[in-house]
Amino acid sequence: MPFQVSALVRKKHAHRPPQLKVILFLVFFLAIIVFWGSTSLLQSFANGLTPAQPTGFFATSSDQSAQLSWKAASDATAYKIQTTDLATNAVIMSAPQKTNTFTVRSLAVGHWYRFRVIPLNGSTAGTASSYIDVRTKGFAGSYTSYFAMGDSYSSGEGTPPYTDVPCARSNSGFAYQVGNGAPSPLMIACAGATTDDVDKVAQGAGGIQIRELPSGNTMTNSLITISIGGNDLGFSHELTKCIISNCAADQSALNQKITALASRLTQVYNELRTSAPDADIFAVGYPLLIADPAQASCHDSTTASGLRPDEMTMIRTLGARLNTVMQNAALAGGVSFVSGVSAFQGHEACTSNKSDEWINEVTRSDLNGSFHPNQLGQAAYARAVNDARNKLYAFGQVRTAPSIFTPTPTPTPIPVTTSTPVMTPTPVMIPIPVTTPNPVTTPNPVTTPNPVTTPNPVTTPNPVTTPTPTPVRVIINQPMHVESHAMNSLVIGTFSGLTISNVRITAALTTQGDSGGIVFRSKYRLRIGTNGTYDLANSSITVTSGSSPAIKTGSGVTNNVTIVAVGDRITASVNGTQLFSVTDNASSSGSLGAFATDWGNDTVTDCNLYVVAA
């Protein structure tokens, strides 16, 4: 019987309709398709989601690399890292990375780069992260150019003679002593400058300082120093008031101004690094000016009789507060800071031992030089800048994108608070009897930190509303190297494809050997000899010649040369001293460059040419 049952079952199944088999197969096949399709659809939908913007971007600097990390972005399956060379604007994009950390390698030493992270979800890219700038550690050995910006503390006031009297520019200023790979500076700083003169208003005959910087890639590998802010506070007026009356009651108001100055300084620093993203920028702070009254001993009778202990204490307290505000603003603005307080500690005006005094007391022969660094102080500033440079080279620098700031805030309305004639304090400081008119032991007259004679704040009550100056058009800002190795030979190097007419040429000219100089308008050659002689030639014809004690003699020394050619008039000066001003119409335009002349000794001429339209 079991056999019979089994046979019946087989017989029953054998009679199942074939259509049913087909239907069951189709149902099974369709189920597979639906399952696979829904999975693919969900995957496609997920891949189509735009990933969120990466946040928490962080970077550290190394010798030739930068380590990057960020918070994982939602819906991101991978990331690309965008690297921009801030000197050349060359952009490199990495391959997609799965992790939220990345090391960028093979970077140049002592170089600025900008990084962004781009989130990916399949082929869909999201919004890139905000950028981070990284300066790699180290130093390439030299800068192409150096720009000294700001006020009297950068121009060198307090150490006459001045090459530019209205701006109190001195070749003894710290900018000319920095060295160590920094070329002779292009001096943009001007006594009396406020933050508005840096980015909004032309000061006197000069231009808006930030616009005097070259544009584009001509700023490659540059050094910038800037001291600014003291004149926004009206310190020159306050120091004058301290000398002739009593200023201690002003401490609260001045402290409020210092607090308000913070955002303005940050704005200026941000604008500066936006204009020169690949430059090493150093904000230079101010000293405390006056020694601790407990140990102070003023050597000038006017200073001694004019400053009371409570006023000295106030000046030091406000100076320390300003130093802190400037340091924080530099950090927020992404620039390095040079502490004037640390650089001059124990060497302020009225230091008991006069030989240790690095800041002038009242100087009657140069009143605006009062309370400014003397020769020793300028050297101290140069050392402080170089110390800050070494720190930058050792640790590198990382800065984030600047926060958005209001373009017009002027939180330091000095014109209102200094409505009294600040620019004419010279007679005020003289009335007090002077038994030692100019201390012989202080060879370098010292200056008021915020030049009293520069009436900037008072004479330009609405600086923000009158930005009318024409920006300086920079034609050249490049080095040139020329060699002559045949006796009695003249070798000329010029910039190709350049024809210029009315120009102002500034050059730090270094000649090893016999003679070198500048070529302009194709035919004109200004020769500066290592023996102190000079001549201006038009082709083979000498226009003028002579010798000058202003020319630094010897092989390998550097002379700062300025040539102004406008129309038929050609004027030249060396190290701030005019050599000649002549009229000659043989050539009105042409090429520009440098030359080297071998009179028996191999001659090499190096110069950094900064040329603007005149």
Which tokens hold the place of 114?
Answer: 């900008």
pLDDT score at 414: 30
Q: What is d(CA 212, CA 198) in angstroms, rounded to the nearest whole number?
A: 10
Segment-wise mean pLDDT, segments of 10 residues, the chain, 614 residues: 46 57 71 59 60 94 94 95 95 96 96 97 95 96 96 97 96 96 96 96 85 78 97 92 93 94 96 95 97 95 95 96 94 94 96 97 93 98 97 94 49 32 30 32 38 39 40 66 74 76 89 90 90 83 86 90 91 91 84 82 84 80
Q: What is d(CA 508, CA 184) in angstroms, rounded to the nearest whole number?
A: 6
pLDDT score at 42: 47
Residue from 97, 87, 89 nearest 117 by CA? 97
Residue type, position 83, single letter: T
Per CATH, the number for 474-613 is 2.60.120.560
In the block, tokens 């209102």 appear at 416
Fold adopted by 164-465 = Rossmann fold (3.40.50)
Q: What is d(CA 479, CA 181) in angstroms, rounded to the nearest whole number?
A: 13
pLDDT score at 532: 86
Residue from 267, 285, 214, 153 nearest 473 by CA? 214
pLDDT score at 439: 35
Other CB atoms closer than 10 Å to residue 297's CB: what's the count? Answer: 13
pLDDT score at 478: 75
pLDDT in tens, 510-538: 998 888 999 998 889 999 988 888 889 88
Cis bond upstream, residue 96 (ω within 30): no
Residue from 114, 127, 128, 119 nearest 83 by CA? 114
pLDDT score at 411: 35
pLDDT in tens, 446-502: 333 443 333 344 333 344 343 444 444 567 777 788 888 765 567 888 876 667 788
**b/e map of 60-74 (b: 16 or more CB within 10 Å)?**
ebbeebbebebeebe
The architecture of the domain spanning 58-135 is Sandwich (2.60)
Q: What is d(CA 609, CA 584) in angstroms, rounded to the nearest whole number?
A: 23
